[in-house]
Structure 1
Amino acid sequence: MKGDGVLVWKALSVQPVRLSVLVSDHMSSSLLVPVLQVCACLNGGTCQYSSVTQNHLQGKFQVVGCLCPRGFSGPLCGNSTDACRGEPCFPGVDCSSAPHSDSFSCAACPQPTVSSGVPGYKCFENDFCLPPFPFPCHSMAECSSTGYNYTCACKPGFTGNGQECTDINECLDPATCPNAKFECVNTAGSVRCSCRYRTSDQRDGCGDSANPTGWNVFNVSMSWGKRQVGQEGLTQLERILSMGFQNKFYNASMKQYRPTAPSGPNEYRINMSSDTPHWYVQDYLSRVGAYYDITLADVGDLDECKANEAECVPPAVCSNTYGGYRCVCNGTDMEEAQSCVLERDNVNRTGTAEAVSMEEQKPLILGLVLGIGIPLLMLLLLAALACFCCSRKKTVSGDIPRLLPDYRQDQFSVPFDYSNPALHYTTHCSPRVLDGITTHRGRR
């Protein structure tokens, strides 16, 4: 103890000791047991008197904590730092660290896993297509992991290398939808076919119905981007219409070809079902023109009369109709023949005079039938009734006077003379073509 009354005691270890101070004089004495806090930080550690790491002798001897410098650890900073002590690497992967350092390094990930970021720190199955790896392909592509690599392939309906994928427009191919009745609508990675000409009263799919009797004949003027010579162009047109209209297209023929001007339009004749209008064909050829390299396609009704393609025989007159023509004789349509020839009962009656004469005789014939035939029929019925009454026998007794003289009875014995040709009439009819009959199509 120093002379100034200050007691200095130096602890040489952290072993617990009890310190007691006894003070006495000739009058009294006092005993003091203080609380000792010992700092024993090593390697430059800083004492932290606010924390106690060891507490001995019922709190009378305490060892305070230490703030260790970099590279050291432990309660008294007496241990060198081992960053691998906590096994930070993936299980089974070796860990190494430098002395007095908190950094570490891991060996490579074991097969068949791979690392992401720090090698060996976290190891995953070698599938680069799954998290935690970012998806390496385009959003519209499929990813396939192959060991330590991967491949990308665009999904159906898209084209590209897998890193870049572009939607395929399936509507560029006319064969995508069944036929010309459908409109092709392209969607992302797919396509749908909607009915193009459906009306509210159709309940059979997209207007699918049996073909009506007859057909329409249309004229088609076409030019091809690539030279289609003669039969080659006709064959191509037949193939296009057969695919687009299926059973609605019958046949086609070529009417005009210009070998001196191959780039000019060629004239075709097409036969379509009578429920297929020309604008239907025009619309379809316009839509598929780019695919088949068609530079011009014009479809219209063919006037067979002006084109001299009608088969009417004079004096019958040709009259053009939509999709066909009709032969008119004296203002009436000829249903079966193209000339003014009527065949009845194996008798040929030609010319307009005979037809007019027959028409004028019809009222006379009708009058004869009504004026003579009906009264004659009534007389025949009366005669039959009289004969029936006369043929019945009546039995009486006694003498019966004669009711009528013999000459009067002879007068009524035979009411009619059936051998008289004036009482005979054979009915007959005369054919007549009526006006207003629905026009027939072209030659069937």
Structure 2
Amino acid sequence: MSTAATRTAGPDHLWTVDEHLEDILATVRPLEPIELQLLDAQGCVLVEDITVPVSLPPFDNSSMDGYAVRVTDVAGASEEFPAVLTVIGDVAAGHAEPLHVGPGETARIMTGAPLPPGAEAVVPVEWTDGGLGDGPVTGMRARSQAPEAATGHVHVYRSAEARAHVRAKGSDVKAGDRALDAGTVLGPPQIALLAAIGRGTVRVRPRPRVVVMSTGSELVQPDEQLADGQIYDSNSFALTAAARDAGAIAYRVGAVADDAETLRDTIEDQLVRADLMVTTGGVSVGAYDVVKEALSSVGDEDEEGAGIDFRKLAMQPGKPQGFGSIGPDHIPLLALPGNPVSSYVSFELFVRPAIRALMGLEDVHRPRTRATLTTDKVLTSPKGRRQFLRGTYADGEVTPVGGAGSHLVAALALADALIVVPEDVESVEPGTEVEVVLLR
């Protein structure tokens, strides 16, 4: 979980972006490992190295439907002078009955079936008459007709080198090899590998459970009718989706009205299913900033050390922020501003790294790069603030979208990057190289 190790400062202290993020990451701790079934472990981070107990494939097997042969028996085979071999039986995938291929013999073999003793190669069925005795057959005709020839004779029209069309035992991984390293995020290919080597469960750090709630009496759920002065609640949807994108199991709570007691009761009700809580709205200096009202003194009433510290950050957008822990288990809580762009930018800078830290990942940040600013006007930035402008990035260039306003949701939907303007820079000329945070 977390420890209540947040730094405090006076109400007029202006925190830097780096100070706030460092405080969060110093407080949030990776979740305790648990053993999970494979499909439940998707998206989780391994906490153990995985060693291969059995080679893959575990035996030599055919990569084609065809005939298992001895190399000498088909040497020099051609359409004019085919090799005629006696078919002694079938070898199917999962076939347990042993067959031994002797001189002048062959076994019809299916893809994935074990190479029988005595055989050295596989000739595809398309290189044969399929046991029909009417000359070469190819493609679909060979595949549809060959099953009739379980025994008898087959004409082979090409030679084969040793090990042709044979998947060697251990050619994928060998017993004793390391299959996956601790710290690996389990996606579908990793799940497939674990299943292939016989692992039904695996020890991982679970995906964090993140509860997201927005505040504001003006907020209405989508599909409902808007009254005068009301707007639709987009923040809780955006942040819940962002939390899932970061790897969390995210729960969205309907917007809470501007009532401190109701908000506090709602947060306390949600603690049972939260590893991290995120609120949006109510953290600035307005008369109805209920998050501050509800949580500013929570440390006095909950377990020792719990509490939320509300701060001003030297950034734009997203100046007002809150961070701390709540409840007897010290569940981390990040309180974000309510403007949509401020909320989303704050999530990317602070909440996403916290989620990745809970997962136990070493690299918790979005990738960053340098790009040339392509625009027809000079960008301005407030002195002493680190500004994060929305932009689109491609081929080493970044173009601003929308403006600096923290309400511009439509522009945010077009952006796939954040343009970073440092605190000591007040204007950026077109063509300048800038730092870019890549969002996708």
Q: Provide the TM-score with structure 2 as the length reference.
A: 0.19
RCO comparison, higher one (Cα < 8 Å, 6+): 2
